[in-house]
Amino acid sequence: MPGFLYQWPLWIVFVAMIGFFVGASQLMLLFIRRKLVPSFRAELHERHFSSTLISSMMVFYGLVAALIAVNVYENYSDVHKVTSRESASISALYRDSAGYPEPTRSALQGAIRDYMEQIIHQAWPQQKRGEMPTAGVAMVTRIEEVLFAYEPVSEGQKVLHQQTLQAFNEMAVARRLRVDANREGLPSSMWGVLIFGALLCLFAAGFEMAPSARMQSILQALLAALVAIVLFVTFVWDRPYLGEAGIDSGAYQLVYEQLMQPKAD
């Protein structure tokens, strides 16, 4: 799907998708009833065959669309877990840094705080626009330099330092996964299959003649609306950070406010 659609309010995208598929289904039905059906003098057994074939098409497309929607949601959920994992590892790293002697403690906590502010105020707005954040690399390197420059003396310091390094590694891995998730999304070819398949099924459904033209028009519209809803949900979950339903920086903001934000006098 085009990225600019994620900048629109979701209700507008929803209405637009419903309108597109319902409108397309009505135009198809009108064309089929006026142009195609009169030229087909189908016998009763042939109509039974067409009904079976159309039903098979609907089932096949429904399975494909459902599997893709479930896979997209699972990916969305996994990215949400990655952001929670990174914020939790930053929290653990910041708490561990309190056990270091000065000046390492201040340098380490300052570097972690700057990194968290960069995520909230710079990286996340970039991700919401579909851009790849890069400034965090230098800040992670700065934290790494402070940690690697420290030489523990006592056994307690060695244990603390080892624990802090583990938290740092966890944070670095989670950051890499979070950034890579900006590339997640169904390829345009897959979206083409979904949309073209939906239109194909709606076109085929128009050959099922109901006793009343009005009844068939309503049923065709309902089928088109259902297809549009499934595709809309897939659209919402497809890009984890984009749009109103995109994952926000709430987990990071909570850690920052509870641990790192300077207390007011």
Could you read off the pLDDT of 152-177 as tens digits, one per residue? 888 988 999 999 999 999 999 999 99
Contacts for 51 with CB less than 8 Å, ≥ 6 apart: 208
**184 confidence band (pLDDT: 50, 70, 90):** confident
Q: What is the pLDDT averaged over residues 130-148?
A: 91
115 domain residue, yes or no: yes
Regarding predicted confidence, which is higher, 213 or 13?
13
**pLDDT tens, residue by residue, 188-226:** 889 999 999 999 999 988 887 777 788 888 989 999 999
86 domain residue, yes or no: yes
**265 confidence band (pLDDT: 50, 70, 90):** very low
**42 confidence band (pLDDT: 50, 70, 90):** low
Beta carbons of 77 and 181 less than 8 angstroms apart: no
**41 confidence band (pLDDT: 50, 70, 90):** low
Q: Which long-range contacts (CB under 8 A, 24 or more apart) does 189-196 make?
A: 190/68, 191/1, 193/64, 194/64, 194/65, 194/68, 194/231, 194/234, 195/231
Cα 66–chain centre separation: 16
199 domain residue, yes or no: yes
Regarding predicted confidence, which is higher, 24 or 35?
24
Q: Which residue has the tokens 């708490």?
A: 95
**48 confidence band (pLDDT: 50, 70, 90):** low
Other C-beta atoms closer than 10 Å to the C-beta of 85 total 18
Structure confidence at residue 161 (pLDDT):
92
pTM for the model stands at: 0.84
208 domain residue, yes or no: yes
Please state, in angstroms and rounded to a whole number, the distance separating the CA atoms of residues 90 and 236. 29
Domains of the chain: total: 1
Structure confidence at residue 18 (pLDDT):
95
Mean pLDDT (the chain) is 88
- What range defines the domain where residue 214 resides? 3-259
Q: Which residue has the tokens 């429904």?
A: 62
**4 confidence band (pLDDT: 50, 70, 90):** confident
Can you read off the two tokens belonging to residue 101? 């002697």
- pLDDT exceeds cutoff 80 at 38: no
**pLDDT tens, residue by residue, 220-256:** 999 999 999 999 999 999 999 998 889 999 999 999 9
In SS3 terms, 163-188 reads as HHHHHHHHHHHHHHHHHHHHHCCCCH
265 domain residue, yes or no: no
- pLDDT exceeds cutoff 70 at 49: no
Structure confidence at residue 40 (pLDDT):
64
- pLDDT exceeds cutoff 50 at 44: no
Helices (DSSP H) in the chain: which residue ranges?
10-31, 44-97, 104-118, 124-128, 136-149, 155-180, 188-205, 213-238, 250-255
